[in-house]
Amino acid sequence: MQDDPKKPAEESPGVSRRDFLKISSISAVAVPLLGTKVVEAAGVPVKVYGPGKVPVELTVNGKKHSLQLEPRVTLLDALRDDLEITGAKRVCDRGECGACTVLMDNKTVYACSVLAIEAQGKAIATVEALMQGEKLHPVQQAFVDNDGSQCGFCTPGFVVASKALLDKHPNPTPDEIRRGLSGNFCRCGTYHGIQQAIAQMAQRGV
Amino acid sequence: MPDYSWPTAENRSLIGKRISRVDSPVKVSGQAKYSYDYHGSDMLFGKILRSPYAKAKIISIDTSAAEKMPGVKAVEIIQKPGATIHWEGDEVVGVAAVDEPTAEDAIRLITVKYQKLSHLVSDAEPPAGTGEAQGPLSMDDIDDLLDNQVPNQQIVSQIQQYGITSKADESTLKELKTDGATDAILDAIRNAAVHSEAAGREHANYQRAAVVTQGDPDKAFSEADAISESAYGTPVITHCCLESHGSTAEWPDKDHLFVHISTQNVSGIPAQMAQPLEVPAANIRIHQDHVGGGFGSKFAADRWDITAARLSQKAGGRPVRLMLERDSELKVAGARPSAYARVKVGAKKDGMLVAWQSQSWGTGGPGGGGMPPMPYIFAIPNQRKEHTAIRNNIGPARAWRAPTHPQAAVITMGALDDLAAKLNMDPLDLWRKNIEITGPRRDVYREELGIAAELMGWKDKWRPRGQNVSGNIARGLGLSIHTWGGRGHESHCDFSIHPDGSVDIKMGSQDIGTGTRTTIVIVAAETLGLPVEAINLYIGDTMYPPSGASGGSTTPGGVSSSTRRAAVDSREALFAKVAPALNAKPEELEAVSGTVRVKSDPNRSLSWKQACAKIGAVPITVRGNNPDKTKPPDLTNSGVGGVGMADVEVDTETGIVKVKKMVAVQDCGLIIDLKLAESSCYGAMIMGISYALFEEKVMDQASGRMLNPNMQFYRLAGLNDIPELVVHMMTGKGYDERGVIGLGEPPVISPGAAISNAVANAIGVRVSFLPLTPDRVLGALGQKAGA
Amino acid sequence: MRAFDYASPTTREQAVALLGATWGQAEVLAGGTDLLALMKDDVVHPKRLVNIKDIKDLRGVSVSAQGLRMGAATTLGDLADNVNVIRNYPALADALNEAASPQIRNMATLGGNLCQRPRCWYFRSGLGLLPKDESGKDIVSQGENRYHAILGNDGPAKFVSPSTIVPALIAYGAKVRLVGPKGKRELPLEKFFVIPQAEDEREHDLRPNEIITEVVVPAVEGVRAAHYEVRQKAAFDWPLAVAAVVLRLNGPTVQSARVVLGYVAPVPWPSAEAEQALVGKSISEDVARAAADAALKNARPLSHNAYKVQLARVAVKRAILKAASGGAA
C-alpha cells in the first residue's frame, strides 16, 4: 500500500503545446490520474477535467465551498462526505427514492444523480437551509404537528419536495399533490401525516 | 413502599394524550444524525466484494493489485478459498480506502475464482414426493446454520427437536464458538440426543416437518356442511430499510473499539462483536443517535460490521465506514420468509368451524423456513398440518415486523373468507360466529369488530362476492383479525434529578422511529409533574445502562416501566429532601404542574427549582429496572387483539387494485402517546398496502440473482397510493389497567389479509398469492371466466 | 462508478469532437438521471462524459408555422410547463406530466428521454442487453419476463423500449434531428429506434459521436389526441403498457389515425393495424375495442407476460376513447 491518493494535477495556466492532447487520446486503455487538461475540439481549446481530482466550487445554502473532487463524485456525496452536510440522505443512489432531494436553482433534483462538477454555478439548497434561524420553516412545523416522520430518514427529502410543491402550488389540488410528491418514498409509512401536513399548509395559504 | 403503578386517568396530564414526537424537530430540519451520517476524523471508506453467484465454492482470491493501489489502507478476506457461498451477494473481501471511489476501484482489482455449484432460488411448491424428512444435525449442518445466520433460538430448537449425528468433543465446540455459536447452542449440543446412524447424509432442498394432527380431521370434514379448498400465500419480501445496514468502526487504542452502527439493539451489540474480534465486550462502545428503519432486520452485528472493525484495526484504528449499497441491502440484509399453503377448511352450515387441513411450504433462505402459526388465532378443533421447508439460495431471512403473523393471517383469513363465501355468509358474521375459539382476546375482538364495522360502514357497503360491479370497476370489502404479545423487555436506566432542577435519564435503548424517546420523556415528565421539555434524555450508547433490543413490540413496555420506577424513586428521594422545608412528611407531598406541594394543602408549595435546590451538592440518581419484582406492580402486559378492514376497487380490465379505505382498530393496554400510537397504526396500514399490492423479492433461476435489488422494481407504495385511513385505539376501562403493551407489530399483520379478502369480495374469485399485481388479478379473473 | 474525464463544451461542434468514434469511449451527459445509474451499476463505463447542458441553443422551445421545435437539452419539466405544448399537444403534455417524478422531470432532458436505456432488469443487472446463459441460450424467454416484450420479440431482443413520451411524439409525427462529425441528419422519430440483433448493437440509430439536437413536431390542427398508461402505482412507477393516439376527424368519422404503443416491444410500436381499423369509422366503444384487438393481433407473449397483451389492449382502447371524447384531459 502506497502513499495517499491522486493529487490533483496542476491546472495549466496557459495552453502549452504539450497539453494539447488529441481527441483520440480517450481511447487509451490506462487512465492516468490527470487533473485538468486542454484538448482541441472543433478547432478550439476545450478544458477536460479529470479523471483525477479537479477544483470544484459549490454554492450550498448560500455559502461557497472550494473542493478537490474527481468528476465522478456526485453532488450528494460531495455534500455528505466532503462538506458534511448530511440532511440529504443516500438511500437508493439511483434517482428512485427521493431521500436525497435538494433544490438546485430552486428546483427539486435528486442529488445522487447530479455530478458535483456539473452543479457548479448553481444555487444548491438542502433541508438545512429551510430553518429560519432557530425557528422551523412552516412546512417543517406542519410535519411536526402532523407527525410526518417516524424513523425520519426520508423526511428531509419529503420536506424539501413539499416546500417546492407548495411554492409552486400554494393551494395544491389532489392531482398536483399526487404529481408533486410522487418522487419520494417512505418505508415506515408516514404518508398519512405528510398528507395532513400538506393539507394544513394549504389551509394556511402559504 | 412507593406506589409505582400507573396514574389513574384523572391523574394523568400527559400519558394518553396526543403529544408531538420529541425528536421531530431535528428530523424535519435535517439535524438528526444517523449512523450513516457519522464522519470520523481521517475516516476511511469500506467496500465489499460480493459473490456474483448464488452458490459457489471459492477457489482462489488474489488481492495483490488492490493492496498495491495508492489510497488503499486495508484489505480483509472475509471468506477464504474453500468456503462455500450460499447466496448471491455474499461477502468475500473487504477493502478500506481513503475515499469511496478509490475503494470501489480497489474492489475491481481483486480477482476471485469460483467453482459454480448448482443453486435453487425458487420457492415454488415442492414437487410431490421430493421432501426429505428433517433429521439429526451434523456439526457441519450446525456450522452451515451459523453461516447462514439462522437465528440462535431456531438453531437451539432444531438441535433439541432432531438431535445430532455424533457427539461433539470440546475442541469441536470451541471451533463452533469461534464460528459464532452461542453458549445456548453449545449447551443444546452437549445435551442433544445422538443419532449416529444418520451421519454423512446430504441435505435435500426440501425438508418435510412431521405432520401435526389434532382431533379427528377426517371425521370432521365428513361431517362438515361446507368445505372450501384453495391456495394462499405471500412471497419473500425485503425490509428495505431506508438507512442501509452498516457501521463505522474505529479503534481509539488497540484494546478499545468504538462503533457507530445502524441498529435496533444498541446494548446487545458488544457481546456479538466480542467473540469474533477477541476483545472483551466491556471494551466495545456502541453509539447511535438515530436509525433509519430496522423492522426486525437490525439486531445483529453483521459480517460487514465485523469486517469494518477488522479493516479499521488493520488501518491503525482509523475509522472505517462500511454502509451497504442499496442492492446489497435488498439482497443480503434481510428478507421475510415466504409462506404458501393449500388449505381445506370445513364448517357447519351456521358457520361454525370444524376442520382445518393445510399443506404449506415456504423459504427463509438457506436455513429453510418454519410453518407460520396456522390456523391463525382460530383454534379450529380438528386439524392436520404438513409443512415443507425449502432450503434455497436467496439469502438469509430475518425477523420482519410481526414475524410469521402476516403470512399466517393471509393464509388463514383468506381460507375463512372463502368459506364464508361458500356458505353465502357475510364474513363478519362468520368471524363473530367463531369468536369463542379465538382465545383469551375474544371479547376484545368482539368489541373491535363492532367498532371497525361501524367505521368502515360495513353493513351498508358489503355485498356478496362479485356483486358490487359497475362497468369495469369492482368494489369489495375484506377483514382480518390479529394478535401479538408485546410484553416489555428488560430495561435499565439511570435517572437523575440535579440540584439546579434539571432532570436526565440515561438508557442504552434506541428509537427506531416508534417514538421511544417520546415514550420515556412522557413517563418521566408525568411522574415528576413537569413538561416533557424539562427532561433530558440520553439513549443510544453502551455507556448507559443496558436496555433490550427494539423488536417484537417489547420496547414501550420495557422503557416505560424502568423509567416509571426510576422516576417514582427519584421523586420520593426528592420528597425526602424537600419535606422539612414544607413542614410535611415526604408521603404527604406531590409533584404537580412544576411544583412540589402538600397534597392536602396545595398552597404549601415550592417551585420545582426551589424544591431541587434542597437536594444538596450531589444529585439524586437512581437506577430503574424492568422487570423488577421488588417494585410491584408489573407495569407491562402481553397479548393484544386488533382488527383490520379494507375497501378496495379493482379495475377488472387491467387487474389494478386500488385501496379506497382502511380501518384499524387496535388495543395495546395503556397508551402513553395517543398521537404516536395512531401513527404506528397508520404506518402499519401503509406498509400493509405496500406488501399486499407491490412487494416481492424477484429471483432469477437462470442466473441465481435477485432481479429487483433497487427501488424501481422493488416497489414501495407512494404517498398517493394511500387512501383514507381510519384508526381507532381501544382505551379506557378494560384496557388502561393492563399496563403498557407494545404496538409496533400488531397493526401490520391484518392489512395483507384484509386487502386480499376485499379483492376476492370485489371480483368474486380468490387471487391466491400476494402481491396482488395485475398479472395475478387478471389470471384469477381469467380462471373464473373459464371455470 | 469508474473514473472518467469530463468536458462541458459550449457548441455542438465541440461536443461532437469530444465524443468518441466507437461506443465505450464517451457518453453524452444531459440530465444524467439514467446514465449515472447505469455507470454506478457498471452497465456502461465510458472514459469520458460530455456535458451538453452548457450548449445554449440545445435548450428551449420555439414555435413556427411548421410546428414545434424542442431543443434536446430542454428538461421534461420545462416542456410540461410550456404553454404551446399544453395548448396544442395535450397528449404530449399528459405524457410529460406523468413521466417519472418531479425531480426527474426537473433534471431529465428530451434528448436523454429518447436515449435512455431499457429498464430490463437483466440488462440492469449486468447480464447484457440480449441476456444469455453460458451456453448462449436466451434466458429471458423462459425467465422472469413479466415486464418484457409481447410484440417485436421474435429476435434476440426481449426488452421494452422505455420512454413513456415517445409514443405521443411519434403519434404527432415528430422528427428527430442529430448532428455528428459528418453534419446534420433528420429522421422520423420512429426510425430512431431499432431492434438490436447483437449484443454490441444499440437500440437507437445513434452513432457514438452524434448528439440529438432537437425534436420537431408538425403543427397540428383539428386533431384529437390522448396518452394513456397502465401502471401499478400512482406514485413514481414505470408503466406496464402505454398508448398514444392522434385522430383526425371529419365530422364524426375518423379520417386518419396514429396509434403508437409503448412498453410492449423493443421499440415504440406504431400499429398500422389499429389505424386501419379506425379509418372511416366513428368512434364507439366497439370500434375502439376492435382497433385495440387489431393492434395486439400479432402479439406473441413470453412465458410470463400474456397479461400484458390485455393491458396493452386496454391502453389502446382507452386512449382512443379518451382522444375521441375531447383530448388528453
**Chain segment B424-440, per-residue pLDDT in tens:** 999 999 999 999 999 99
Binary contact (A118, C103; C-beta < 8 A): no
How many beta-carbon pairs below 8 A join chains B and C? 81
Q: For chain C, what is the largest distance between any 2 Cα atoms, rounded to a whole number of angstroms?
A: 60
Average pLDDT for chain B? 95
Instruction: Return d(Cα C23, Cα A168) in angstroms, integer.
Output: 41
Q: How confident is the model at residue C315 (pLDDT cuts 50, 70, 90)?
A: very high
Binary contact (A115, C6; C-beta < 8 A): yes
Binary contact (A44, C40; C-beta < 8 A): no
Closest Cα in chain C to B709: C125
Closest Cα in chain B to C125: B707
The whole-number pLDDT of residue A31 equals 43
Q: Hey, how many other C-beta atoms are within 10 angstroms of the C-beta on C42?
A: 12
Q: Each residue of B210-225: b (16+ CB within 10 Å) or e?
A: eeeeeeebeebbeebe
Q: How confident is the model at residue B487 (pLDDT cuts 50, 70, 90)?
A: very high
Give the mutation candidate from C120, C123, C125, C242 for the B interface (greatest B CB count, under 10 A).
Answer: C125
* Neighboring chain B residues of A200 at a CB cutoff of 8 Å: none
Residue type (1 letter), A3: D
Q: How far is A151 from chain C (nearest CA, A)?
A: 21
Residue C177 pLDDT exceeds 70: yes
Q: Single out the residue of B632, B585, B623 nearest to residue B604, CA to CA.
A: B585
Residue type (1 letter), B150: V
* Neighboring chain A residues of C3 at a CB cutoff of 8 Å: 31, 33, 50-52, 70-72
Residue B599 pLDDT exceeds 80: yes
The whole-number pLDDT of residue B157 equals 83
* Neighboring chain B residues of C289 at a CB cutoff of 8 Å: none
* Cell numbers representing residue B516 in the block: 421511544
Closest Cα in chain A to B727: A192
Asked if C73 contacts C90 with a C-beta cutoff of 8 angstroms, the reply is no
How many beta-carbon pairs below 8 A join chains A and B? 193
CA atoms in the 13 A half-sphere facing the CB of C293: 7
Instruction: Return d(Cα B57, Cα B43) in angstroms, integer.
Output: 34
Per-residue confidence in pLDDT tens, chain A, 206 aa = 444 444 443 333 333 333 344 333 443 334 445 689 999 999 999 999 999 999 999 999 999 999 999 999 999 999 999 999 999 999 999 999 999 999 999 999 999 999 999 999 999 999 999 998 899 999 999 999 999 999 999 999 999 999 999 999 999 998 888 889 999 999 999 999 999 999 999 876 54
Total-model pTM: 0.94
Binary contact (B679, A81; C-beta < 8 A): no
Give per-residue pLDDT as tens, B353-389.
999 999 999 999 987 778 899 999 999 999 999 999 9
A72 → closest Cβ in C3, C97, C103? C3
Binary contact (B718, C234; C-beta < 8 A): yes
- How many residues does this entry show for chain A? 206
Give per-residue pLDDT as tens, B57-100.
999 999 999 999 999 999 999 999 999 999 999 999 999 999 99
The whole-number pLDDT of residue A23 equals 38
Give per-residue pLDDT as tens, B617-645.
999 999 999 999 999 999 999 999 999 99
The whole-number pLDDT of residue A22 equals 39
Instruction: Return d(Cα B499, Cα B318) in angstroms, integer.
Output: 40
Sign of CA dihedral B142, B144, B145, B147: positive
Q: Single out the residue of B396, B398, B262 nearest to residue B331, CA to CA.
A: B396
DSSP secondary structure code for residue B621 in this structure: E
Please check whether residue B201 touches A, CB under 8 A.
no
Please check whether residue B725 touches A, CB under 8 A.
yes
Q: How confident is the model at residue B203 (pLDDT cuts 50, 70, 90)?
A: confident
Asked if A122 contacts A55 with a C-beta cutoff of 8 angstroms, the reply is no
B30 → closest Cβ in A4, A128, A147? A128
The whole-number pLDDT of residue A106 equals 97
Please check whether residue A45 touches C, CB under 8 A.
no
Q: How confident is the model at residue B755 (pLDDT cuts 50, 70, 90)?
A: very high
* Neighboring chain B residues of C234 at a CB cutoff of 8 Å: 718, 720-721
Instruction: Return d(Cα B761, Cα B462) in angstroms, integer.
Output: 9
Asked if B372 contacts B407 with a C-beta cutoff of 8 angstroms, the reply is yes
Q: How far is B55 from chain C (nearest CA, A)?
A: 16
| β-strands B620-626, B491-497 pairing | antiparallel
Asked if B488 contacts B740 with a C-beta cutoff of 8 angstroms, the reply is yes
Q: For chain B, what is the largest distance between any 2 Cα atoms, rounded to a whole number of angstroms?
A: 88
Asked if C101 contacts C236 with a C-beta cutoff of 8 angstroms, the reply is yes
Give per-residue pLDDT as tens, C221-270.
889 999 999 999 999 999 999 999 999 999 999 999 999 999 999 999 99
Phi, psi of B426 (to 5 degrees): -70, 125
* Cell numbers representing residue B92 in the block: 468475500
* Neighboring chain A residues of B690 at a CB cutoff of 8 Å: 189
Q: Which residues fall within 8 angstroms of residue A63, CB to CB, at 6 or more apart?
A: none
Residue type (1 letter), C162: P
Residue showing cell 437536594: B615
Q: What is the residue-wise DSSP string for B732-779?
A: STTTGGG-B---SSGGGTHHHHHHHHHHHHHHSS---BSS--HHHHHH
The whole-number pLDDT of residue B148 equals 64
CA dihedral of B297, B303, B304, B308, whole degrees rounded to 10: 130
Q: How far is C267 from chain A (nearest CA, A)?
A: 24
B712 → closest Cβ in C125, C139, C238? C238
Binary contact (B718, A177; C-beta < 8 A): no
Residue B232 pLDDT exceeds 60: yes
Q: What is the residue-wise DSSP string for B345-409?
A: EEE-TTS-EEEEEEEEEEE-GGG--PPP-SS-S---SEEEEEEEEE--SS------SSTTHHHHH
Please check whether residue B242 touches A, CB under 8 A.
yes
Binary contact (A109, C106; C-beta < 8 A): yes
Q: Torsion-angle region of residue A9: left (phi > 0), alpha (psi -120 to 50) or beta? A: beta
* Cell numbers representing residue C212 in the block: 440529438
Binary contact (B654, C310; C-beta < 8 A): yes
Asked if B189 contacts B159 with a C-beta cutoff of 8 angstroms, the reply is yes
Q: Which own/partner contact pairs does A15-19 have at CB distance under 8 Å and 24+ positions apart?
A: A15/A45
Q: How far is B616 from chain A (nearest CA, A)?
A: 35
Q: How confident is the model at residue B787 (pLDDT cuts 50, 70, 90)?
A: low
Binary contact (B717, C235; C-beta < 8 A): yes
How many beta-carbon pairs below 8 A join chains A and C? 142
* Neighboring chain A residues of C236 at a CB cutoff of 8 Å: 96, 182-183, 185
The whole-number pLDDT of residue A29 equals 38
* Neighboring chain B residues of C124 at a CB cutoff of 8 Å: 710
